[in-house]
Structure formats: C-alpha cells, structure tokens
Structure 1
Amino acid sequence: MTNIEGDPALPEVHDEKKEKVRKFNILNQLALKGQTVLAGSSLMEFFPINEMQMKLETRYCIYNRGIAGYVTADLLASMEACIFELEPSKLFINIGTNDISAPDYRLEHLLANYDEILTQVARRLPGCRVYVMAYYPVNAKAEFPFVPKASMEEVFQRRTNEAIREANRAIERLAAKQNYTFIDVNEGLTDEEGNLNADFSSDGIHMYANGYAVIMNNLLPYL
C-alpha cells in the first residue's frame, strides 16, 4: 500500500535509502576518522571491501558508504553521512551511472551535480585526496540466468557503453578542473568486444566478487 500524502492513517512507504543513511549516521560515530571512504551507488555498495581488505596489509582501513539506487542528487543530499562525518584522508567516488539510466538523463545535469559534490568536498575536506572513478562497462548482449533479458532492455537503451565512455571523458575533465585524480580501474573487466565480462556479472551491470577482485587489484596503487 502506498501512502497518500497528508493521510496519517496510512503507513509511510519504507525508504531503504533513508534507512541506510540513518545507519551510516550511527556507524560513523563508532568509526575511525581520517581513513579511506568509498562513496557512490550500488556498484560501490556491493563492493565487498570488508572481505577484501582482510587480505591487505593492516594499514588499510576502508569504509564503504555506497547506497544502491543513488543518483548524483541523492549523494549531494547525504554528504554528511556518506562522506563528511568520517573526515576521510582518501575518498573514492563512483556516482552517476543511475543518472545515465534515467529516462530524463542529461549529461550536463550529471556534471552539474558532480561538480557540486567535488566543490563541497574541496571546501570541507581540503586535505583529502579524492579519486574520481571511471564508470564501469556494461554487457547488454549476454544472457544472465537469474535476470530476464527483457527486464533490462529499457535500462540498456540509455546505459550503453558509448554513453558511459562519453560520461567518463566528461568526468575526467571535471576531475582535472577540480584538481582531483581521475582513475580508470576497468582494465581486465571487459571481453574481446569491450563489454563487461559476463562471468563477472549477474545482470550485465552489477558484479560478482570476481569482478570486484579485478577492480581491487587495479585500485591497490591508489590505496
């Protein structure tokens, strides 16, 4: 049942994203400040960094503050919980692919929001090393056993590798403008046609741990 605005008799619709922000508010009170933070959407949230950093040297302390479903406007609205409360010394951002998937997607709108995100970080965390991550490729061709291909057709009409490459070029320029570092950690993720390797993905967009293992290996020089 959905809530009718202004009717107190009906239950509020559960907002999972807001709940995650609240959980982060509480977690951040217990976390070490000045460490490394990952921020973004589902492709960041699903990064199994807790398991993977167990195999790294103990000097690494990485907090994942990605939230599935986030667009750039969502991250802008929750910068305190996802970034600032942790006062990171290093910040890795991957946000914007859900913007690309949206029916009303405009690259200039994504860039305006992303620019404001980076501007706020520069103002609040002047000593933080910020890494703007390239968007990951997709695979619209392969069949995935747990996801009907038809259910992804609308998304892949807009979220194409061509659109992703265009956005990557744009955010690379944006990172340079803000004096931050653009990093492409996608090497090894694609097949011979340049699509996301189907063995790494559950639906052509989201990845299993083996895909993230490739990304983690590419990230190590920056950690």
Structure 2
Amino acid sequence: MNHSKLKEYRMLNRHAKKGQILFVGSSLMEGFPIYEMQLSSNLALDRVIYNRGIGGTTTVDLLQSMDTCIFDLEPSKLFINIGSNDIGASVKEGYSKETLLKNYNHILSQIKARLPLCEVFVMAYYPVNAEADFGLDRSDKELMFATRTNANILEANEAIEQLAKHHGFSFINVNEGLTDEKGNLKPEFTVEGIHLWPNAYTVILNNLKRYL
C-alpha cells in the first residue's frame, strides 16, 4: 500500500467538500485526469469530482484504507474500479476470482452500511492488450499478462455485475470504443497494454457522462 499517497489524501480531505462525486480505485483510477477534464469539458456539473485512486491498490488494500479514500469525503456519488491488480496478481501470489469477490463484497457491504444515501457505480474492468509490441522484455510481458487476460477480465466483469446487483448498486461498462475487432485494448490508448493514455480516458469520460 502507498502510505505516502494515503497521507497526502488525508491532508487533502480536510479541504474537500462533503457530498460530492468520488472516483476510487487503483492506478487505472488514479491515472484518470478528471481534474483537468472536469474543468475543460462541457460536463456542467453542480458537484466537484474528487479522485482517490492509488496505484498498486488491491481489494485488500482498499479494505484497509476506506476511511481515507471513501468515508471521510461522504460522497453523494461513488465510482469504484478496484480489483484489476487482484486479477493481475503475480504467479507467486496467484489469482483467485473467489477471493476477489469475497473482498469486493466486504467493500460494497461497508459502503452500503456507512453511506446508505450514496449512489454507487461499480465500474467494469478495462480490457488489456497483450499482443501489441510496446517494447517490453518478453519475460516481463509474460509475467505481466499471466493472469491479467481479457478472458479473466470478462469473467470477473460478469461476476462483479451480479455482486453489484446483489447490493442494489449500478454496474456500468464504459469500455465502448476502447477495443479493436479482437476485443483487445487499442494500442493507441495504452502505455504498455494495461495503463491508459489521456485519450483513452476521454473515451471513458464520454461513456461515463450520463451517470455523473
């Protein structure tokens, strides 16, 4: 867990307004340039969007940092994208869909209990691209995509959709326009097959607008 980022967020939370919109998750959420986009786009929102994503975060990490990343802000709308690092766990640690769902269920249960009036949007995991050449070392690439595959991502998306419905939350898939004909993340949208460039987030925000 990135303790320095948590410390930064704790400081920032003292200045944040309550009842706003919150993005939370791992690096794929931390990298969402929503500060710039909400100022430059025509969203015309009556609320501020805060981003409390932290790179490298797993569902276990978020369970340990929910006060700082979620509850201290008392959001009225919450967009959550957590678990991609669970899916992409190293070969040594292994990936267990059951463990992912168990942890995610704990996360959503706490949100439901402590923020009963908050609108919660469980976001689908983004696709990856393990085929294009991004200049990665072959062994590093094999390790990176050992379990983080589009097949596992699709399976996990189906599972968390059902989990969201179980809690009465909305599941949203904002991936339209991100993939090629094979279902891979388009090369022009990604740094190394996983993390996204700002042009990808422009597509995602356009798909996300109606929920904001």
TM-score (norm. length: structure 2): 0.95
The match for 1:11 is: none
Q: Does the alignment pair 1:199 with 2:184?
A: no
Contact 1:143–1:149 under 8 Å retained in 2: no
The separation in 2 between residues aligned to 1:109 and 1:180, in whole angstroms, is: 20
The match for 1:169 is: 158
Of 15, 32, 40, the residue aligned with 2:17 is 32
Note the alpha carbon deviations across 1:73-101, whole angstroms, 9 max, x for none.
Answer: 00000000100000000000000010011
The separation in 1 between residues aligned to 2:118 and 2:45, in whole angstroms, is: 21
Of 195, 199, 204, the residue aligned with 1:210 is 199
Tell which structure's C-alpha radius of gyration is larger. Answer: 1
The separation in 1 between residues aligned to 2:78 and 2:5, in whole angstroms, is: 19
Report the CA distance between 1:149 and its aligned residue.
4.7
Contact 1:172–1:182 under 8 Å retained in 2: yes
Note the alpha carbon deviations across 1:151-174, whole angstroms, 9 max, x for none.
Answer: 221121211000000000000000
The separation in 2 between residues aligned to 1:204 and 1:192, in whole angstroms, is: 16
The separation in 2 between residues aligned to 1:144 and 1:135, in whole angstroms, is: 21
The separation in 2 between residues aligned to 1:149 and 1:36, in whole angstroms, is: 40
The separation in 2 between residues aligned to 1:95 and 1:152, in whole angstroms, is: 22
The match for 1:159 is: 148
User: How do 1:7-22 residues align onto structure 2 when only pairs under 5 Å count?
Assistant: 17-22=2-7
Of 127, 130, 138, the residue aligned with 1:137 is 127
The separation in 2 between residues aligned to 1:161 and 1:149, in whole angstroms, is: 19
Unmatched segments (≥5 aa) in structure 1: 1-14
The match for 1:81 is: 68
Unmatched segments (≥5 aa) in structure 2: none
The match for 1:10 is: none
The match for 1:66 is: 53
The separation in 1 between residues aligned to 2:147 and 2:45, in whole angstroms, is: 41
1:91 alignment partner, SS class: strand
Q: Percent identity?
A: 56
2:105 alignment partner, SS class: helix
The separation in 2 between residues aligned to 1:18 and 1:46, in whole angstroms, is: 18
Alpha carbon RMSD of aligned pairs, Å?
Answer: 1.1
Note the alpha carbon deviations across 1:135-188, whole angstroms, 9 max, x for none.
Answer: 00000000114x445422112121100000000000000000000000000000
Report the CA distance between 1:58 and its aligned residue.
4.6
The separation in 2 between residues aligned to 1:26 and 1:202, in whole angstroms, is: 30
